[in-house]
Amino acid sequence: MAKTIEMWIEEHKLVARAFNEDQPGTPIVFLHGITSSVDFWEPLLPQAFRQSRRWYALSLPGHYPATMPPRFREEDLTAEMIARVLSEALYRLCAGQPLLLIGHSTGGFAALHLAEHAPGIVKGVASISGFAQGKWGGMLGLNQKIAALPVVGNGWFKSAYWLIGRSLSVWVASLGIYAADGQAMRTHPAFLALTRSGIDNYRRLDLDTMAMYFRRMPHIDISQQVAQIRAPLLLIAGDKDAIVPPTQSQMIAQQVAGSELHILAGAGHVPMLERAAEYDRILFDWLDRHG
């Protein structure tokens, strides 16, 4: 059973789900992607892992049930702010104990930056469909452009995301933009649980905050900082990812000596659903070696 932890950091409310805190060993922290939530990870993890390892799922700033500070300024949504706030959250969760950090997409970006920003507590990092440069492709890239349109962009973005969340069937259909292998995604054993928890949290998102992320991320670039990562690094990407092309992971791997890079054939932006067996083998082998 998860314990919910709320933390207030620089007026940000952050939320974590904590599991098996009494277990020994290296704590493992998972970071979700854009418009997702702390509840993304639990259905995806093998039962033996969920019940025996000490692990946490931590919210990105501003993602329900997390909230941004009152009167938060858009120009303050930077890579440095995200790393600063999350590093303090990691320190509080694990009392400064070195940990393993796993992030998907924008969570992968955050994990990479944290490995450089807080090397004293990040013992190893796994980036899944992560990036150093926040200009996305595919439908999310189009949504970045819509959100940035003068005058009308914020309203159009919010209206589109609000409409998607009104209907479960429409919301489930919209998940197809993430997958190159939609059949594999939809038949994954965790897909039903993900959709049930996912839409509930999606409907509670602050869409002004999400629009802010979509406008700001194209201007974020940590490609110089990732070269400073010294912790063990695992990179997993799909070769058919239209949102974050695998060239992002390849570029990062070239900059970080000793990193492990796995490009999964036929997978898009959610390889944990599209190529589950291969993904699980790679990730949990890495965790066994470094945890």
Phi-psi map region of 125: left, alpha, beta (phi>0 left; psi -120 to 50 alpha):
beta
- Look at residues 251, 161, 233 and name the one whose alpha carbon lies nearest to residue 201: 161
Per residue in 158-205, pLDDT (tens digit) is: 999 999 999 999 999 999 999 999 999 999 999 999 998 899 999 999
| Backbone angles phi and psi of 70, in degrees to 5 | -60, 140
CATH of the domain at 98: 3.40.50.1820
| Domain total of the chain | 1
Question: Exposure of 50 by Cβ count < 10 A (0-12 exposed, 13-18 middle, 19+ buried)?
Answer: middle
User: What is the extent of the structural domain holding 106?
Assistant: 3-290
pTM of the full predicted structure? 0.97
Per residue in 88-125, pLDDT (tens digit) is: 999 999 999 999 999 999 999 999 999 999 999 999 99
Confidence of residue 249 (pLDDT cuts 50, 70, 90): very high
The answer, yes or no, to whether residue 291 has pLDDT greater than 90, is no
The answer, yes or no, to whether residue 1 has pLDDT greater than 80, is no
As a whole number, the mean pLDDT across the chain is: 97
Percent of the chain with pLDDT over 90: 97
How many Å apart are CA 138 and CA 245, to the nearest integer?
10
Q: What pLDDT was estimated at residue 98?
A: 97
